[in-house]
Structure 1
Amino acid sequence: MEITGKKHVGVFTFPFASHPPLLLNVVRRLASAAPAVVFSFFSSAKFNNALFTERGCDNILPYDISDGLPEGYGYDRKVVGEAQIGLFLGVAEEEFKRGVQAAEKDVGVRVSCLVVDVFLWFSGDLAGEMKIPWVAFWTAGSSSLSAHFHTDLIRQKYDKLKDSVRLDDEIPNLIPGLPMIRFSDIPKEVIFGDLESPFATMLHKMVGAITKATAVLVNSFQELDPDLTNNLSLLFNNFLLIGPFNLVSKQKPSSKSDESCCISWLDTQNPRSVAYISFGTVCTPPPHELVALAEALEETKTPFLWSLNNDAQKHLPSGFLDRTTTNGWGKIVPWAPQVQVLSHCSIGVFVTHGGWNSVLESIGAGVPMICRSFFGDQPTNAWMIERVWRVGVRIEGGSFTKHGTCGALQLVLSSSSDDGLKQRIEALKDLAHKSVGPNGSSARNFKTLVDVVTGATL
């Protein structure tokens, strides 16, 4: 297939978790805004098969690259986490180079720009060799990006302070642009754990490369973290916040749709009364915490919609399902259409792991949060939610107990104890929606991105 007279952009994904669909979100917006550009989208066969119902999608062409797993083992093989990431990184650079050559041959046009997941730090060198722009995409928030970028600075401060402060002590100016945070809320790859692991090493190499990027993209909006945004804008070329994605993308209905009738059930509940509970597709609290959370819901008689997989449901207290679901004030489903659920007028609080997509979806819907974080950027996000934006609370002690969860539910849902939390989340919601509207900050940043990708600014 030869497409002459067109621009050709190579898109490199990090084929794990939510990274490929998030980058495809950006590419679909770019493809719509720049129909004269062909986008070659490189990801593993697993993700391409899931993301593309057909092998071609308008001006977006999927190409499979190896995920590093030995041929023939398939995805049922229990090679997960750091081990699988290590296998992928071992072949990634050559795989993407091979993919670019194949795409250029197919399209008949040289690649003129690379849009990549920033974890793929080596792609900056490839862009340099090709003498083309390199656009790096960070899938999380500005606070975690800043934490990783300032890894060396934070490690120096930790070495200096570790004998005189506790991990839960609040440290001023630990991250530039953030007045206060704790060491315990920093992503563990910065100062804890195996700092020589493939994942930690990848993140550190990313830090050394990202300042060379022609543009750095973030799924956020400027008004959420103005001080962090200003600080990072001084460090990066074209620091572009172009989200929240859930407010700018027309999502196609999921194949799962609403099989469990969540929305019709929510229609029967009182306004702002329901706790929506979901910890994403990766995180599940241990059995004793599931019990504590269930007991707190019963104790406070809080109406709830709980997205919980079938395997985890067996850990709930004996009789809990019968006592709560038969009388209509509780509903447990294996999957829920989260964006639609959060937008429903009956939702009063989101009990969440604090993953970045969930945080933005909750802000976009104006729903306060109760956070039980697990790993990665989640503790940092929870800190921002409770202490910086003040639109939610972290669960007391970091894990669910009956007492702590009862207190959090009553604090967030009770109007008598409201200290302005609901007003603050509504204010952030308004700012988020304005940012993606006509002449909003995210809308303007996206126009700059289109210019970079199409070569209009070069």
Structure 2
Amino acid sequence: MENLRPQPPHVIFLPFPAQGHVKPLLKLAELLSHASFHVTFINSEYIHHRLLPSIDIDAFHSRFPNFRFLSIPDGLPPHQPRALEDLLPSIGSATVAALRQLLVSDNLSRATTCIIADGIMPSSAVTAGEEFGIPVLAFRTFSACCTWTNFHLSKLIEEGEVPFQDKDMDKLVTCIPGLENILRRRDLPSICRVENVGDPILEFFIKEGRAMLRASALILNTFDELEAPMLSKLASFFSKIYTIGPLHALSNVRINGDRSPLASTTGILWKEDQGCITWLDSRPSESVVFVSFGSIVKFTHDQMLEFWHGLVNSGKPFLWVIRPDSIMGGDGSSGQLLMDLQERTKGKGLIVSWAPQEQVLAHRAVGGFLTHGGWNSIMESTQAGVPMICWPAISDQQVNSRFVSEVWRVGLDMKDTCERSIVEKMVRDLMEAKRVEIMKVMGVVAKQAEESVKEGGSSYRNLDTLIQDISSMTT
């Protein structure tokens, strides 16, 4: 009788449609495809049509022949802006219906080993997975500390901590186990700053958190040495946790970086300006402050000017990413302000619309990072050994910035303030007054991050375990 070879595992990926979520899931998808898995990566139609033009698709498929991209609706009209307050209410029902249809019409249900779903929207995947008998693994793109915090949103409401609406912001929050002496109200996720407990976005995160507990495992883009206390807490909710970060560094180690660029290294929503690397080449080591607030955060005119004056007054050269849609206002004044800042920055720094962030942070000229505190940015900065100033705006960033400054001590927290004098002082502290103290700790943490992704390191081993566990699902 002819021996039948076992079919390779087939994994469906379902990311939340935002750059900071698509990128890490895409990195993991590439790693699993590199391990000879079949991968179906399902983006929203909006993201799909912006991602594919940035990829050399022929080169990508020659490298990953069993990797395919599909798309589904996100519930919003094509030309409507993808603001979170509009996207979150629409995406759940739209995704579960579209995913169910794909599993049936494309006969994916029989061929699928498991679904790896973004932890911000697991209910759609879990619902479909339970219907078709497909295991679901939740990939939370947040830190372990914020993931643990989010699991206590209902308790925060019960204890009367939420909502608080900018009152007693420095009051310690003592009802989250393990964080009693760490988090203040101002350090809670931004979704806690609501007017009432029935706020739809707060309800969305509570609902999705409960759904995530129905997943068979949790995947996190972090490393054991950084977040061990929070990981031990999360183990009370999940029997299996795979910590595989810093994921970008693990990808660099496991996948040969000398070949064509990976899809996850391209600018998904914005075209990268490679000219900034040439500009950095002309600067002294550790002299430049890199400034980037991610793909979503927006500024008023006044906030933008306060940051600009603070950076200029610090006397430090800066590379600042300002997206075309960064500045609020649709009357044309935002475009004029951006042009004015670009002109006035000459000789002091460089403003670009988007930058290859991993490459910038690894550059010898970069000595500090003024960031929104998104988790991808913190992982990239930590692995590169670049200390941070965090100015959080939304979501998990408030929790992250507190841990950066008070727990890991690899940077400074500038939340809830935007004044030029404070920006100037923070930059000077990071680059001068407090630099030796911060860099001493950062050196240790960066070394731990580097070791975690090497062969034999914690994250390297955890990825192997994940690969083995998914493979065992096919037998």
User: Where on the TM-score scale, by shorter chain, does this alignment land: which range?
Assistant: 0.7 to 0.9
Contact kept in structure 1, 2:113 and 2:473, CA below 8 Å: no
Find out whether 1:429 has 2:443 as its counterpart. Answer: no
What's the Cα RMSD here?
Answer: 3.0
Hey, what does 2:372 align to over in structure 1?
353
**More deviation, 295-304/268-277:** 295-304
State which of 194, 198, 205 in structure 2 corresponds to 1:192: 194
Give the superposition deviation at 1:285: 2.8
Contact kept in structure 2, 1:308 and 1:332, CA below 8 Å: yes
Hey, what does 1:247 align to over in structure 2?
249
Find out whether 1:90 has 2:93 as its counterpart. Answer: yes
1:42 partner amino acid: I
Hey, what does 2:83 align to over in structure 1?
80
2:293 partner amino acid: F
Q: Pairwise mapping of residues 41-52 of structure 1 onto structure 2 (< 5 A)?
A: 41-52=41-52
2:16 partner amino acid: F
2:33 partner amino acid: A
Give the superposition deviation at 1:382: 0.8
2:114 partner amino acid: C
> Whole-Å Cα distance in 2 between the matches of residues 79 and 51 of structure 1?
15
1:78 to 1:271, Cα distance in 2 relative to 1, 3 A: closer
1:433 partner amino acid: E
Q: Pairwise mapping of residues 127-276 of structure 1 onto structure 2 (< 5 A)?
A: 127-159=129-161, 166-172=168-174, 174-176=176-178, 179-190=181-192, 192-193=194-195, 195-250=197-252, 252=262, 254=266, 259=273, 261-276=275-290
Tell me the alpha carbon deviations over residues 191-238 of structure 1, each in whole angstroms, 9 at most, x when there is no partner. Answer: 734544543333212222323322100111111111101111232121
State which of 52, 65, 90 in structure 2 corresponds to 1:58: 65
1:330 partner amino acid: G
Q: Pairwise mapping of residues 252-401 of structure 1 onto structure 2 (< 5 A)?
A: 252=262, 254=266, 259=273, 261-310=275-324, 312=327, 321-322=342-343, 324-325=345-346, 327=347, 329-395=348-414, 398-401=416-419
Hey, what does 2:30 align to over in structure 1?
28
Q: Give the gaps of 5 or more residues in structure 2.
A: 253-260, 328-333
**Secondary structure of the structure 2 residue equivalent to 1:176:** coil
Contact kept in structure 1, 2:96 and 2:127, CA below 8 Å: no
> Whole-Å Cα distance in 1 between the matches of residues 134 and 324 of structure 2?
48
Find out whether 1:126 has 2:128 as its counterpart. Answer: yes
**Secondary structure of the structure 1 residue equivalent to 2:373:** coil
**Secondary structure of the structure 2 residue equivalent to 1:135:** strand
> Whole-Å Cα distance in 2 between the matches of residues 113 and 286 of structure 1?
44
Contact kept in structure 2, 1:173 and 1:180, CA below 8 Å: no
Contact kept in structure 1, 2:45 and 2:71, CA below 8 Å: yes
1:218 to 1:196, Cα distance in 2 relative to 1, 3 A: same
Count of matched residue positions in the alignment of Structure 1 and Structure 2: 443
Hey, what does 2:112 align to over in structure 1?
111
Q: Give the gaps of 5 or more residues in structure 1.
A: none
Find out whether 1:15 has 2:29 as its counterpart. Answer: no
2:73 partner amino acid: S
> Whole-Å Cα distance in 2 between the matches of residues 16 and 161 of structure 1?
26
> TM-score, normalising length from structure 1?
0.87
Give the superposition deviation at 1:273: 1.3
> Whole-Å Cα distance in 1 between the matches of residues 363 and 180 of structure 2?
33
1:32 to 1:353, Cα distance in 2 relative to 1, 3 A: same
**More deviation, 145-154/203-212:** 203-212
2:93 partner amino acid: G
**More deviation, 185-194/230-239:** 185-194
2:394 partner amino acid: F
1:234 to 1:77, Cα distance in 2 relative to 1, 3 A: closer
> Whole-Å Cα distance in 1 between the matches of residues 208 and 47 of structure 2?
23
Give the superposition deviation at 1:170: 2.7
> TM-score, normalising length from structure 2?
0.84
**More deviation, 215-224/39-48:** 39-48
> Whole-Å Cα distance in 2 between the matches of residues 246 and 450 of structure 1?
17
Percent sequence identity over aligned pairs: 26
Contact kept in structure 2, 1:63 and 1:99, CA below 8 Å: no
